[in-house]
Chain A
Amino acid sequence: MVGLQKYKADYQQLIAELPGQSLNWLQQLRADAYAAFSETGFPSLREEEWRYTNVSAIEKKLFSPLVSADNSTLDAAWLDTYALKDAIRIVIVNGRFCKEHSSLEGLPAAVTVSSMADALEQKPQLVEQYLAQAVGHDKHSFVAFNTAWFSDGLLVHVPAQLVLEQPIQLLHVVTQADYLATSRNIVVVEEMAQAEVIETFVGESNAYLTASVTEVFVEENAELILYKMQSESDKAYHFGGTYVKQARHSRFKHHNFAFGSLLARNDVHTDLDVASECDLNGLYLGIKRQHIDNHTRINHLQPHAISRELYKGVLNQRARGVFQGLVFVAEDAQKTDSTMNNRNLLLSADAEADAKPQLEIYADDVKCAHGVTVGQLEDKSIFYLKSRGLDEETARNVLTFAFANEMVEKVALKDLHAMVLDQLLQRFPQEHVDKEWL
């Protein structure tokens, strides 16, 4: 049995075990998504949105959710290095909620943080209200795949007017080789509420496939800061999507760090209502033969919304980075204020960056700017550092580090900042870097 057939055959064995089987609406949703996926299969290079990223390897490798998902091998000390100390923490191991490593201490009673499987049993109406509302399975076949296959996931619900002091960490872990981990997550921040949520994806040193979709709802005048740190194993495949619905006057900040995996594709889409604001930040670091594809879409659907976007890539050796960003401005979205920037630093002759920013504007009174750079370090910056006594190699290292660190600096959470900085330094080691002086 090959490729798609194997995934489909697995699905027939898997389906009875998937959460929420007693819910008719969910059964229907999964059935529709499965039908849509069956028809198209995984995306191909022929599709414009996938032209830079070949996913055929995941059909050849045959990842399966039926591999025994035994958590007893989980290295607790290793996992602990990815746990944020002061955060409420929910851990998903091999696609399923792991109570043992989770910590809900300090969570206000009014806030819901639970596994998707539990939520489907205990609060099915709440899940129904949001699931598949920020993204339909027609978006692309990975969303359809995720909708049909998801084995668990997380639900975060912050009720109106509540300002959550503690950040919430959603820690996704894969420990099994050849494993297929599909999670579906929902984050809801109701009117006037505020929250910070961190999605972390890590794995032990195996080949596996993560397919994760997160739907986000930022209601009227609410604020969400969402971080994503993707530090999967260097043999892993990661397909992630963050789909956001922003109500009037809402504020959404996203910090997207793509560090790990052999091949990663991440989509961030947001729909902006009247006078809402989004700020999308991204940093992708590619070394060896890594392939990291970033896809963003900002939909200005109503007037007076503001969007800011900056994605930076550092690519070394034979790594390849992709940025496809679209800003869409609907006819009604007058007074839109938008900037989109993508900057790439190529450190070797074999590294590659593909940048494709796009504006699609149907309103006539808007301010939209976009810019792209692909290049090397600037001579004048190198000279400036040399004129202060630094040798050429150190100057280049410092500037490379600085280029990436500009995005790390934006992380306000202290523990997370330290963790992201460690990840950066692991990939681009700096001799004699004394972190306390950074």
Chain B
Amino acid sequence: MLNIENLHVNVGDKIILKGLNLQIKPGEVHAIMGPNGAGKSTLSHVLSGKAGYTITQGKVTYAGQDLLDMDPELRAREGVFLAFQYPVEIPGVSNIYLLKAALNAIRKHQGLDEVDAMDFLTLVKDKIKLLQMDEKFLYRAVNDGFSGGEKKRNEILQAAILEPKLCILDETDSGLDIDALKVVANGINSLRTEERSFLMITHYQRMLDYIKPDFVHVLADGKIVKSGGPELALELEAKGYQWVEEKVA
């Protein structure tokens, strides 16, 4: 599904990623944990195609294609979805409008007809229940005036409707209280299939209580310094990141 080899990334003169390797197979859930400044968000941005990053070495293949060579919209249409840490507010455009525009852009790319209006409404209303959101959210402007929890739910709602192959969750747990976290985690769990892969980027272990990863990786100083199973997250929580950093040093 996703193969990251020896990825080196700069922002301006600053070296952020220093030879990152990661392989994700279909259906796998990977968690990347790490201290602030380790390069977690840089990784999610580079994978989704955000401007402002220079790839100095390495390559990323996604479903056999050179991911780094693709425009952000092409990545999205090919099934890469980034749930933003800070979803952007767009006053003046309703949620449902964006959902329909996005779904149709993807369908068009797949050679499918535009979604039928009734089918679309049925789909959206079905998915919105999953996230325990009120239907009113559909007709509100995208993320405009949403609380932190509402924004994160909205990201997962988009994923549920767009049905990506690879879901990158960038600090999706940040800013969520425990009830909101459970709802969001349930939503994410319901998206798990044998083909769909997840890359969860998080600072804290608590989201992994609800979404069981297959693999946990520790990102420190631009590299993955330790990989393991779910138990690694618990160990990290108990001992702190310093423990890994010291071992590396």
Interface residues of A, Cβ cutoff 8 Å to B: 378-381, 383-392, 394-395, 398-399, 401-406, 408-409, 434, 436-438
- A381–B88 touching, CB < 8 Å: yes
Give Cα A391 to B50, complex, Å: 14
- B93–A402 touching, CB < 8 Å: yes
Q: Which of B71, B76, B87, B92 has the most CB of A within 10 A?
A: B92
Q: Which of B81, B91, B105 contacts A390 (CB 8 A)?
A: B105
Q: Which of A387, A398, A406, A438 contacts B72 (CB 8 A)?
A: A387
Could you give 10 example pairs across A and B, Cβ below 8 Å?
A380-B88, A383-B51, A383-B72, A386-B72, A388-B158, A390-B102, A394-B105, A398-B90, A402-B93, A406-B92
- B98–A403 touching, CB < 8 Å: no
Interface residues of B, Cβ cutoff 8 Å to A: 48-51, 71-73, 75-77, 81-82, 84, 87-88, 90-94, 96-98, 100-102, 105-106, 109, 117, 141, 158, 162
If A386-B72, A402-B90, A402-B92 touch, does A394 touch B97 (CB 8 Å cutoff)?
A: no
- B92–A409 touching, CB < 8 Å: yes
- B102–A434 touching, CB < 8 Å: no
- A384–B91 touching, CB < 8 Å: no
Q: How far is the CB of A56 from chain B (nearest CB, A)?
A: 37
- B100–A388 touching, CB < 8 Å: no
Q: Which of B73, B90, B93 contacts A392 (CB 8 A)?
A: B73
Tell me what chain A mostly uses at the interface: helix, strand, loop, or mixed: helix
- A389–B93 touching, CB < 8 Å: no
Give Cα A384 to B51, complex, Å: 12
Give Cα A71 to B49, complex, Å: 60
Contacts of B106 in A (CB 8 A): 389
Q: Which of A383, A392, A408 has the most CB of B within 10 A?
A: A383
Q: Which of A378, A379, A389, A399 contacts B105 (CB 8 A)?
A: A389
- A390–B97 touching, CB < 8 Å: no
- A438–B73 touching, CB < 8 Å: no
Give Cα A392 to B76, complex, Å: 13
If A380-B88, A387-B49 touch, does A394 touch B101 (CB 8 Å cutoff)?
A: yes
Contacts of B158 in A (CB 8 A): 388
Q: Which of B71, B91, B117 has the most CB of A within 10 A?
A: B91
If A402-B91, A402-B92, A404-B92 touch, does A387 touch B97 (CB 8 Å cutoff)?
A: no
- B141–A406 touching, CB < 8 Å: yes
Which chain B residue shows the least CB distance to A437?
B97
Give Cα A409 to B92, complex, Å: 7
If A389-B105, A390-B73, A394-B101 touch, does A383 touch B94 (CB 8 Å cutoff)?
A: no
- B92–A405 touching, CB < 8 Å: yes
- A386–B88 touching, CB < 8 Å: no
Contacts of B72 in A (CB 8 A): 383, 386-387
Give Cα A387 to B48, complex, Å: 7
Q: How far is the CB of A220 from chain B (nearest CB, A)?
A: 33
Contacts of B71 in A (CB 8 A): 386
Complex A-B, nearest 3 residue pairs according to Cβ-Cβ distance, in ascending order: A402-B92, A389-B105, A405-B92
Give Cα A436 to B49, complex, Å: 32
Contacts of A434 in B (CB 8 A): 100
Contacts of B82 in A (CB 8 A): 387
Contacts of B48 in A (CB 8 A): 387
Give Cα A403 to B92, complex, Å: 6
